[in-house]
Amino acid sequence: MFGKRDFSCGNILSISYFVVRAINSLSLNTRFSKFVFLVNEKVAYIYISKRFDGNYKIISNREVRAGYFELIVKIDNITRYCSPGQFFMISVPEVFLRRPISIHYVKKDSLSFLYKVVGKGTKILSKIQSGTLQLLGPLGNGYDFKNWEQSSYTVVAGGTGIASIYYLATKLTQNGILYYGARSERDLVCLDKFKKMNWKVIISTEDGSKGYKGYITDMLLKGLNDTTLLIACGPTPMLKKVIQIAKVKCIKGFVSLEEKMACGIGNCQSCAVKINGQIRMICKDGPVFRIEEVEL
C-alpha cells in the first residue's frame, strides 16, 4: 500500500514536501494520498497517507465489556485514507500528551477505536460521553499485504491487539485462522465479530477460563502451517515469541509493534526499535513491520 520500499525515504520526503508546498494554498494540513512522477522517464507512483489534525464529534463512547470501551467519532472525508494498522493520537482532557490508539474499524463517515482502561488517560477518556475530541491521524504505516492476496492468513492477537486486527480482518480478501489470547474469558472482546465473519478461532486464556490455559503462542507453535502469511499484534513478550516461531519455521509476515510515544509523528523519538539493524520509529516507520526484519 505504500511505495516506500521502491524508493529511499529521502526521496519520498523531498517529493512530498515540494508537492505540499505547491498545494498549500488549496488544501491546508493535508498531503496527497497518491501522486505520479517520472523516474528515468518511466511513470512511478508513490502512495503517502494523508494525515489530519482536527476536532471531531463523538458519536458514542460506551463500555462494551467491563473495562473495555468503544469510541466512535464522526469523521467525514478522512476514513478513505485509513488503513489497517494505522492509529490516531487522541487528545484527552487533563493529561499532557495525546494517546495513541489504533483504528478498530472504519465506516464511511465514522471511525471506531476499541480501548481498555489502563491508566489515567484512558480512564478520563472513558468518561467522556459527548462533545468533540482533537484527533491527529491517520498515522503510521499499516499492513502492506497487497502482494499476499493469494496466501492463507494466520493472525495472532493478544489482549487489545485484537482491536486493529479486526480492522485488518475486515479488509482481507479471504478468511484466515485467528489465534486469540487474553488474560481471561472476560477479556476476549471481539470473539463474536470474528465468529460472525466465519473465521476459525483458536483461543487461549492465562487463567484457563476459556480455551487453552496458557499463552496463545503455545497453540501457534503447535498449529502453524508454514505456507501461511503470519500477522501478529499484541504485547511485546507475545510478539517476541511470535517472531522467534516465524524465524524457526521461516514464515513471512507482519507484526504491529507498540511502545510509549509522545508525539506519534516521529519528532520525540521515544518509540525507537531496531529494524534490520537500523533504528526506526514505531510511530512513523511502523507500527507494522515485516516480521523477519524486527529485532525485539
Examine residue 124 and tell whether it contacts other proteins (CB under 8 A): no
Nearer to other proteins, 91 or 256 (CB): 91
DSSP codes, 76-91:
SS-GGG--TT-EEEE-
Judge whether 64 and 106 are in contact, CB under 8 Å. Answer: no
Judge whether 284 and 261 are in contact, CB under 8 Å. Answer: no
Examine residue 293 and tell whether it contacts other proteins (CB under 8 A): no
Nearer to other proteins, 136 or 233 (CB): 136
Q: Which of residues 252-271 bind other proteins (CB under 8 A)?
A: 259-263, 265-271
Q: Which of residues 24-63 bind other proteins (CB under 8 A)?
A: 24, 28-31, 50-51, 53
- How many Å apart are CA 155 and CA 179, to the nearest integer? 6
Examine residue 16 and tell whether it contacts other proteins (CB under 8 A): yes
- How many Å apart are CA 259 and CA 101, to the nearest integer? 11
Nearer to other proteins, 14 or 276 (CB): 14
CB of residue 72 to other proteins, shortest distance in Å: 22
CB of residue 191 to other proteins, shortest distance in Å: 27
Q: Cα 133 to chain center, whole Å? A: 20
Q: Which of residues 125-154 bind other proteins (CB under 8 A)?
A: 134, 136
Examine residue 157 and tell whether it contacts other proteins (CB under 8 A): no
Q: Quick one: which segment of 20-28, 67-75, 109-117, 187-195 binds other proteins (CB under 8 A)?
A: 20-28
Instruction: Return the closest-CA partner of residue 183 out of 234, 132, 223.
Output: 234
Which cell numbers in the block locate residue 68? Answer: 473495555
- How many Å apart are CA 273 and CA 30, to the nearest integer? 27
Angle at 137 between CA 242 and CA 68, to 5 degrees: 60
Nearer to other proteins, 14 or 60 (CB): 14
- How many Å apart are CA 148 and CA 60, to the nearest integer? 35
Examine residue 95 and tell whether it contacts other proteins (CB under 8 A): yes
Per CB under 8 A, residues contacting other proteins are 10, 13-14, 16-17, 20-21, 24, 28-31, 50-51, 53, 91, 95-98, 121, 134, 136, 259-263, 265-272, 279
